[in-house]
Structure 1
């Protein structure tokens, strides 16, 4: 197994990351290349598909300087979801892709969720009784309402990258189940459901193959091999949503283990042997990763992006990021838990769980002249921790035990933040040795695909190693419990005002144009 070489590709919100691993899960080489997101106004967040491909080419060419890519024996890809692209009949992009965080389809979301049809209600039972503004179904309805879809195809980011690699078009059962209203035990898609919500015939514009995670998509074409340096004929196995594949890459597939993927947003995922229905969560999703394993999902839209905002506003232009973080870590140690009365609401791009509120926005409460930028930084970390606790409490409302958190993603590098989350939630946080769990997860899928392991679960168990555990410090419990209650009260009080303000902005924009 040591001499087997696997390539994992993770297309995130801000960059593409690649990792080359051996069959035992040891990282041999990694590269990352960024690409932009264009926020054209409050609602629109777009990316150019060619930027994804060019970034992947650049990352692989860099890797090829230090590793012979012809040795790669299996490949898999994960990507953000739903980042949606409309193409022509040849799968060439026509317009910029709608990023997962794009908010333009709010009317379509409300239209679907307000539909009283029993057909719609029954299908939405398997997605938390609602659709989301982020999802493929909702975005496809927006595209149908604004474009002529004749001779057009609608793909996710993952589908298009797999097409560029293999010339084959196929969707992942992971994406379809969690974002496209696909229910495996009810024969997949429901044309009756799509007809009821105004999406009749939409499946003709989507990929016509739905593959399970780990199934063969196709093989690297000559054209792709020439462009990116991989060997023609190398197999590409189906991946899925970046956060969900992170469950595989962090070894958090067991029921009771909450997978917390820490990136631009947070995603909280947990497996169950039976379907559990809670309309404040997303799901239960039918076997998106592992057969006969139901998945429940919670999430926070604004997490790493808040820290990026902070760094941009207070340290704009600085290239000494490591030095900045060292200073921040030292300064917030001087500030007591609770940030001396400053509390921030973290829903700057809306709320996923438990409120499912696209109108929610951010707020600073208790700010005084005595507060510094360091108080603001600590309050941001605490606010995201409160949001995570809110998700965990939502799981507990359905009598779902959360025994521990398994964290992955870039946020795990911030030890101060990890400790705050552990203190606020009262749970231990386990951190895998490999922080890039997207590339690790896809490499594990590739290892299963080429036959090194009998199942994805076995491959994950064998290839993932834990490195660190953060234990909660009980001395902060009372302060953080009080802070959490205040956080909940503020959400209840301010969400109606936020909706009024945001709708007011839209009305003003329409009036001015």
Structure 2
């Protein structure tokens, strides 16, 4: 029988399941929405049971689409957002919901986007502990340790003491599938202040004491996953076999090998960093020396609700404001840097939803059976023709947006930064909507360039962007990333399924098809088209000027803060 591999991806708003064949080609893909509770602008909570139920539906649907026997699936892999899952001592969901008095146990996940732990993150950063070197010297409130500290400081003592297990969501899924409590190198290192083998001795006791979580030390870190630094599973290592209960729920064979999970951004990187449409480049990537040479010039960008930027290097490179360097979180002995933008797809949607012309634009798009983004892309072309502009970029000469509406993740690591818009008028037409939409895409691309420049200044040599995620379906978004960053863009063969295909590749490794994840990535990764940056000197010049405005707006915002706090008056004294 032909062999197949199954991947499960849990994103911010949905669960996906994909079946791939032995060549890495997508055979079937199913999607199921998941619930998010958002009582306040900075509070986002989810349900572990709801997520597992959605996973079961998607897996069964994907298998039905694939029309294959369950026994033909040889490996299963998971990825998920870096969200905090809380269980009691019996392994049942335990509430994180302050609104319900921590009694709604259906709400037992703090989503990555939840920003309740701002004060806790600031106090952790104020310690300037050496552990923070491995998160760009600034821990993010989106990571697990600030969220855990928030729970300790806000839950009633009896509720806090009832916590038995604290999981990063990817590791919870492998636990649910196999019964194993083992955590992954990826989740612990990237999100839980863990120093893996070759970097440290796991949990640094002085760090947890300094930040007020010494109680986690007292139970030998069992709530976080134990202390066995020598045997922490790496990406795609077989973490266990599918239990009878999980197999029945998923419609898969009991005993199926399950790979150690990764955070969703890393699944996107696994699917794309080794993929190339060129057989010559593929052969070069498979050479033993290529990983440190050719792998280091590639940046995976996973573009969804937020965007993550993942680069690899053979040696640790410390970049202020960029998470990492993380050792062996994807490829053994390779170091990863992780940049990111807290709001990209979310920002685009926000700009559209808050514009008075959206309802009219959506009605016209629906009448032509187009999605709103395709409609606006075409409308921009019509505007360009109407104004007789030579370049699309001419439409936004007076419209500029600074994109940190949800704070800055990288490279400034400042969650207090805000968004800015320059060039407002009384226009509320579809033309104005389209112009703001274009300016938003340009702003996101400028910030990507800012991240790349900070990485390259410290020793990376990034010249190729390996994009994945839903935003890659937007040709304007893709072209602007190539033109503004001046990098080649490589798109995946299957844009909708790239991240979940990365999870399936973890299943392939767990099955024993190959013990080298990089080889799995190169041999089974499938690339689509390439986009080269423009050679038009006028467009290059306009983009350079826009990038200067991007930095000027950032500096202006900092100046405004100084004025309003009186810091400028103190400096003049």
Please report the TM-score for the alignment, with normalisation by the length of structure 2: 0.82
Q: Which moved further from structure 2: 38-47 or 101-110?
A: 38-47
Does residue 89 of the first structure (1) align with residue 100 of the second (2)?
Answer: no
Residue of structure 1 in register with 2:530 after alignment: 469
Q: Which moved further from structure 2: 332-341 or 402-411?
A: 332-341
Q: Can you list the C-alpha shifts for 1:192-233, whole angstroms capped at 9, x where unaligned?
A: 221121111422311236421122222222222222211111
Asked if the contact 2:311–2:337 (Cα under 8 Å) also holds between the matched residues in 1, the reply is yes
1:393 to 453, 461, 483: 453
Give secondary structure in 1 for the equivalent of 2:214.
Answer: coil
Does residue 182 of the first structure (1) align with residue 230 of the second (2)?
Answer: no
Q: 1:454 offset after TM fit, Å?
A: 3.1
Does residue 287 of the first structure (1) align with residue 328 of the second (2)?
Answer: yes
Residue of structure 2 in register with 1:9 after alignment: 8
Q: 1:127 offset after TM fit, Å?
A: 1.6
Does residue 195 of the first structure (1) align with residue 258 of the second (2)?
Answer: no
Asked if the contact 1:9–1:438 (Cα under 8 Å) also holds between the matched residues in 2, the reply is no
Give secondary structure in 1 for the equivalent of 2:222.
Answer: helix
Query: What CA distance in whole angstroms lies between the structure 1 residues aligned with 2:84 and 2:223?
Result: 12
Does residue 337 of the first structure (1) align with residue 393 of the second (2)?
Answer: yes
Query: What CA distance in whole angstroms lies between the structure 2 residues aligned with 1:133 and 1:414?
Result: 30
Residue of structure 2 in register with 1:114 after alignment: 126
Q: Can you list the C-alpha shifts for 1:68-125, whole angstroms capped at 9, x where unaligned?
A: 33432110100101x0122111222112211101111011101110115xxx2x2111
Give secondary structure in 2 for the equivalent of 1:267.
Answer: strand
Q: Can you list the C-alpha shifts for 1:35-83, whole angstroms capped at 9, x where unaligned?
A: 13222222211112222112112212322433333432110100101x0
Asked if the contact 1:359–1:498 (Cα under 8 Å) also holds between the matched residues in 2, the reply is no
Does residue 404 of the first structure (1) align with residue 472 of the second (2)?
Answer: no
Asked if the contact 2:166–2:224 (Cα under 8 Å) also holds between the matched residues in 1, the reply is yes
Residue of structure 1 in register with 2:343 after alignment: 302
Residue of structure 2 in register with 1:73 after alignment: 74
Does residue 229 of the first structure (1) align with residue 292 of the second (2)?
Answer: no
Q: 1:496 offset after TM fit, Å?
A: 6.4
Q: 1:420 offset after TM fit, Å?
A: 1.1
How do 1:28-427 and structure 2 match up within 5 A?
28-66=27-65, 67=67, 68-81=69-82, 83-95=83-95, 96=107, 97-116=109-128, 120=129, 122-147=130-155, 148=157, 149-152=160-163, 153-184=165-196, 185=198, 186-202=200-216, 203-208=221-226, 210-252=232-274, 254-313=295-354, 314-315=357-358, 320=366, 322-333=370-381, 334-335=383-384, 336-337=392-393, 339-369=396-426, 372-427=432-487
Classify 1:322/1:466 alpha carbon distance in 2 versus 1 (closer, same or farther; 3 Å). same
Query: What CA distance in whole angstroms lies between the structure 2 residues aligned with 1:33 and 1:495?
Result: 42
Classify 1:323/1:277 alpha carbon distance in 2 versus 1 (closer, same or farther; 3 Å). closer
Q: Can you list the C-alpha shifts for 1:300-359, whole angstroms capped at 9, x where unaligned?
A: 111111222245445458694734333211122234316131111111111011111111
Asked if the contact 1:256–1:403 (Cα under 8 Å) also holds between the matched residues in 2, the reply is yes
Give secondary structure in 2 for the equivalent of 1:3.
Answer: coil
Larger radius of gyration: 2
Q: 1:287 offset after TM fit, Å?
A: 1.6
Q: Which moved further from structure 2: 155-164 or 304-313?
A: 304-313
**Structure 1 stretches of at least 4 aligned residues deviating more than 3 Å after TM superposition:** 310-323, 495-502
Task: Tell me the C-alpha RMSD between the 2 structures.
Answer: 2.2
Give secondary structure in 1 for the equivalent of 2:305.
Answer: coil
Query: What CA distance in whole angstroms lies between the structure 1 residues aligned with 2:510 and 2:118?
Result: 39
Query: What CA distance in whole angstroms lies between the structure 2 residues aligned with 1:404 and 1:169?
Result: 38
Q: 1:413 offset after TM fit, Å?
A: 0.8
Q: 1:501 offset after TM fit, Å?
A: 9.8
Query: What CA distance in whole angstroms lies between the structure 1 residues aligned with 2:472 and 2:549?
Result: 26
Q: Which moved further from structure 2: 202-211 or 6-15?
A: 202-211
Give secondary structure in 2 for the equivalent of 1:178.
Answer: helix
The alignment of Structure 1 onto Structure 2 pairs a total of residues equal to 496
Asked if the contact 1:23–1:452 (Cα under 8 Å) also holds between the matched residues in 2, the reply is no
Give secondary structure in 2 for the equivalent of 1:60.
Answer: helix
Asked if the contact 1:284–1:296 (Cα under 8 Å) also holds between the matched residues in 2, the reply is yes
Q: 1:497 offset after TM fit, Å?
A: 4.9
Asked if the contact 1:267–1:300 (Cα under 8 Å) also holds between the matched residues in 2, the reply is yes
Q: 1:386 offset after TM fit, Å?
A: 0.9
Structure 1: unaligned runs, 5 residues or longer: 503-513
Residue of structure 2 in register with 1:434 after alignment: 494
Q: Which moved further from structure 2: 106-115 or 243-252?
A: 243-252
Asked if the contact 1:361–1:498 (Cα under 8 Å) also holds between the matched residues in 2, the reply is no
Q: Can you list the C-alpha shifts for 1:253-297, whole angstroms capped at 9, x where unaligned?
A: 711111111111111111111111221321111221112111112
